[in-house]
Every structure is written in C-alpha cells, then in structure tokens.
C-alpha cells in the first residue's frame, strides 16, 4: 500500500511540472511575440559619405546626409 501512494505522489508531481512547464512555454510564445511588436531595435547601421542605411526589427530605412528618410521598406510579411 505505501508503494502505491509513493507512485501516485510521483505521478502528480510529474504532471504538475509538465503542466507548469507547458503553460510557461505557451505564455512565453504568446507574450514574447507580442512584446516584439512594440519594440523597434536597430539591428544594423551602415554609414556612407552621403547615405546611412539602418535596419531595424520592423524596417530597412535609407537616410540622406541631413538625416531625412529617403526610402523605408517594411519587413511585414517577409520571412527570414
């Protein structure tokens, strides 16, 4: 009889950790992608004499010498 209680206890513990782990994974996937929608981090920036190319998480932008954007290419719908 004590062995059955021990097995049930281990089974409950395993299921509890599996449930919490799965919930944490789903929570991270959902809210990790949502937070990336609101941030626009600079990935790469290249400076030339008259132009500056800036790649962010959302777009690729080309600036002129004065800092005005000349061309903005959105990355929406583009897969890596």
Tokens of 62: 């080309």
Q: What is the mean pLDDT of each run of 10 residues along the chain (80 residues)?
A: 75 92 86 68 87 89 91 77
pLDDT of residue 78: 62
Kindly report the pTM of this predicted structure. Answer: 0.48
d(CA 47, CA 17): 50
Distance CA 43, CA 10 (A): 47
Per-domain residue ranges of the chain:
1-38, 40-80
What are the φ/ψ torsions at residue 76 (nearest 5 degrees)? -65, 125
């Amino acid at each position: 009889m004590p062995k059955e209680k021990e097995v049930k206890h281990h089974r409950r513990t395993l299921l509890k950790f599996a449930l919490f782990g799965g919930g944490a994974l789903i929570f991270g996937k959902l809210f990790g992608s949502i937070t990336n929608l609101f941030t626009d981090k600079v990935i790469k920036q290249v400076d030339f004499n008259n132009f500056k190319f800036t790649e962010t998480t959302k777009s690729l932008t080309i600036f002129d010498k004065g800092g005005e954007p000349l061309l903005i290419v959105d990355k929406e719908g583009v897969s890596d």
